[in-house]
């Protein structure tokens, strides 16, 4: 089996543009997010904002993909 890892960086116009799908309940992460109490949603949003280094402009999100291939 061979496993390859690739990293991509996505640039978005703002933190709000990045986070909006989660706030709308998009995908399983968004569903988990909207199920939280309001105070927890606020805390998660602000922590993620800090983690991404939001300075009020463009943000970059690094995503890692892993691909596996092999034979039986």
59 in Cβ contact with 52 (< 8 Å) = yes
Task: Provide the whole-model pTM.
Answer: 0.76
Structural domain tally of the chain? Answer: 1
* Domain housing 57: 2-69
Q: What is the pLDDT along the chain (72 residues), one digit of tens a residue?
A: 899 999 999 999 999 999 999 999 999 999 999 999 999 999 999 999 999 999 999 999 999 999 999 888
Rounded (to 5) percent helix, strand, coil in the chain: 45, 30, 25
How distant, in Å, are the alpha carbons of 40, 69, 72 from that of 2? 40, 5, 13
pLDDT value of position 4: 96
């Amino acid at each position: 089996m061979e496993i390859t890892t690739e990293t991509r960086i996505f640039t978005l116009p703002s933190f709000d543009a990045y986070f909006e799908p989660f706030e709308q309940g998009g995908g399983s992460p968004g569903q988990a997010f909207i199920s939280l109490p309001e105070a927890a949603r606020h805390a998660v949003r602000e922590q993620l904002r800090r983690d991404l280094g939001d300075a009020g402009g463009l943000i970059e999100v690094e995503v890692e993909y892993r691909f596996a291939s092999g034979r039986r």
